[in-house]
């Protein structure tokens, strides 16, 4: 079937999304909540495009291309919505670890500060205890934010929801799309909606199995392995210095592809490539976190030989 995008004729297979059609001809469209390996939830709306004849803009990441569609990816309406989405997110969420967003903010001339200075972080647990259908009156001095202290309740990963754009990816990865564990869900409503375990219990009390597949899909760094979180806090996280090595997880017969991120000879993170047909980016707790023994510098001399003392 064929459609027109920004004046160019494109032929695609039936079922192709507008986003995929754009990418085929090299048109870049920003995305946040979209990921090839997950069901499109089309919630962030940064990928909207204008389809002629439509009343409203459409999310390109999920709308299938149709025969004869005429699409504009850079109309003034499109640019306006993308700019506002960026301003709304950047004024309410800490996007400091969201890749690419700074470029987009510049490209779309977004000015998040025009809503007023960002409100300071809420006390721990305040957002968890929000009541649907009710909220405190606005504070005229500040623009409301989702800022709150990071949740650090286990050794393996940190949940810093001040950075959460509510893209639903972690919920999909933990639930129906990958892990089938359903340890987290979106709770609350409206601006107070947030990712939560049941009754906001700490992770160790929840159904979480620490596969870290939520971390793998989180686009903002709200979910982060503790190793990375601590290095970032210490100012020693520098991706330009790191190397990656793909290997096979040694633990079980599934044989997941492991990508080890190594900084100065030390493994700082393990992931699996999204495009790997077996894992689709997923691992289990062992593959994701079970490599610390490799570099256990405090190994007991004459112990089980799990570490040679210098991690190399």
Partner 1 sequence: MDLHLRHAAPTDQERAAVDALLGPPTSSWLGGTRGDVARDTHVAHGGRETREQRHLLLPALEALQARVGWISETGLEYVCTRLGVPPADAWGVATFYALLSTTPRAPRVLHVCDDVACRCKGAAELIEQLERKVGPAHSHGPHGDHVEIDPHSAVWMRSPCLGLCDQAPAAFLQQAGDARHERLVGELTVERAVTLLQEPPPAFVPHSDMPKQLVYSMEHRRPFFMQDDSPLMTETSTLRLPQDDNDAPQHRGLLDRIGIVDPTDIAAYRNTGGFDALRRAIELGPDAVIREVIDSKLMGRGGAAFPTGRKWDAVAKQSAHPHYLICNADESEPGTFKDRVLLDGDPFAIVESMAIAGFATGCERGFLYIRGEYPLGASRVQHAIDEARKHGFLGGNILGRGIRFDIEIRRGAGAYICGEETAIFNSIEGFRGEPRNKPPFPVQAGLFGLPTVVNNVETLANIPAIVLNGGQAFARIGTEESTGTKLFCLSGNVERPGVYEVEFGKTVRDLLDMAGGVTNGRKLQAMLLGGAAGVFIGPNDLDIPLTFEGARAAKATLGSGVLVAFDEAVDMKQILLRIASFFRDESCGQCVPCRVGTVRQEEALYRIASGKTIGGVSGEIALLDEVGLAMKDSSICGLGQTAYAAIESAIHRVGLLNGKSEIHI
DSSP state of 301: T
Region 45-64 residues binding ligand FES, contact defined as CB under 6 A = 45-47, 59, 61
Stretch touching ligand SF4 by CB under 6 A, among 73-81, 137-145, 146-154, 254-262:
254-262
Residue 29 touching partner 1 (CB under 8 A) = no
Token output for 199: 């009754």
Q: Name the pairing type of β-strands 157-159 and 185-187.
A: unpaired
Residue 84 touching partner 1 (CB under 8 A) = yes
| Binding partner at 31 among partner 1, ligand FES, ligand SF4, none, C-beta below 5 to 8 Å by kind | ligand FES
Token output for 221: 């760094």
Token output for 180: 């089938």
Residue 216 touching ligand FES (CB under 6 A) = no
Among 23, 45, 72, 232, binds partner 1 (CB under 8 A): 45
Work out how close the CB of 67 gets to ligand SF4 at its nearest, in angstroms, rounded to a whole number: 28
Smallest CA-to-CA distance from 244 within 212, 282, 273 is with: 273
Stretch touching partner 1 by CB under 8 A, among 20-28, 141-149, 221-229, 230-238:
141-149
CA angle 104, 109, 111 (to 5 degrees): 100
Region 117-146 residues binding ligand SF4, contact defined as CB under 6 A = none
The per-residue b/e assignment along 211-245, b for 16 or more CB within 10 angstroms, e otherwise, is bbbbbbbbbbbbbbbebbbebbeeeebeeeeeeee
Interface pattern 29-48 for ligand FES (x via CB under 6 A):
--xxxx-------xxxxxx-
Residue 88 touching partner 1 (CB under 8 A) = yes
Show Cβ contacts of residue 83 under 8 Å, excluding neighbours closer than 6 positions.
108, 109, 110
Pairwise CA distance, residues 50 & 42, whole Å:
15
| Binding partner at 266 among ligand FES, ligand SF4, partner 1, none, C-beta below 5 to 8 Å by kind | none
| Binding partner at 223 among ligand FES, partner 1, ligand SF4, none, C-beta below 5 to 8 Å by kind | ligand SF4
Q: Helix or strand or coil: residue 272?
A: coil
Pairwise CA distance, residues 238 & 298, whole Å:
25
Residue 166 touching ligand SF4 (CB under 6 A) = yes
């Amino acid at each position: 079937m064929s459609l027109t995008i920004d004046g160019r004729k494109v032929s695609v297979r039936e079922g192709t999304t507008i986003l995929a059609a754009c990418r085929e001809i090299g048109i870049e469209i920003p995305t946040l909540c979209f990921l090839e390996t997950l069901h499109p939830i089309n919630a962030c709306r940064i990928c909207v495009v204008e389809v002629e004849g439509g009343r409203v803009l459409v999310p390109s990441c999920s709308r299938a291309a149709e025969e004869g569609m005429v699409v504009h990816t850079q109309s003034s309406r499109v640019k306006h919505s993308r700019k506002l989405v960026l301003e709304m997110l950047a004024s309410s969420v800490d996007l400091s670890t969201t890749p690419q967003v700074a470029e987009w903010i510049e490209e779309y001339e977004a000015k998040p500060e025009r809503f007023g200075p960002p409100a300071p972080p809420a006390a721990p647990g305040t957002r968890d205890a929000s009541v649907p259908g009710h909220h405190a009156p606005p504070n005229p001095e500040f623009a409301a934010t989702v800022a709150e202290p990071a949740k650090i309740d286990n050794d393996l990963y940190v949940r810093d929801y001040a950075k959460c754009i509510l893209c639903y990816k972690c919920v999909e990865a933990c639930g129906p799309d990958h892990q089938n564990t359903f340890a987290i869900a979106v709770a609350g409503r409206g601006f107070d909606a947030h990712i939560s375990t049941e009754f906001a219990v700490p992770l160790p009390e929840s159904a979480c199995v620490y596969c870290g597949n939520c971390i793998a899909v989180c686009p903002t760094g709200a979910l982060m392995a503790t190793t990375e979180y601590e290095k970032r806090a210490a100012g020693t996280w520098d991706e330009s210095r790191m190397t990656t090595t793909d290997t096979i997880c040694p633990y079980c017969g599934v044989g997941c592809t492991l990508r080890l991120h190594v900084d100065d000879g030390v493994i700082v993170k393990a992931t699996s490539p999204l495009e790997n047909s077996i894992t689709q980016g997923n691992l289990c707790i062992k593959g994701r976190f079970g490599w610390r023994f490799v570099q256990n510098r405090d190994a007991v001399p004459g112990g089980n030989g799990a570490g040679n003392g210098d991690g190399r």
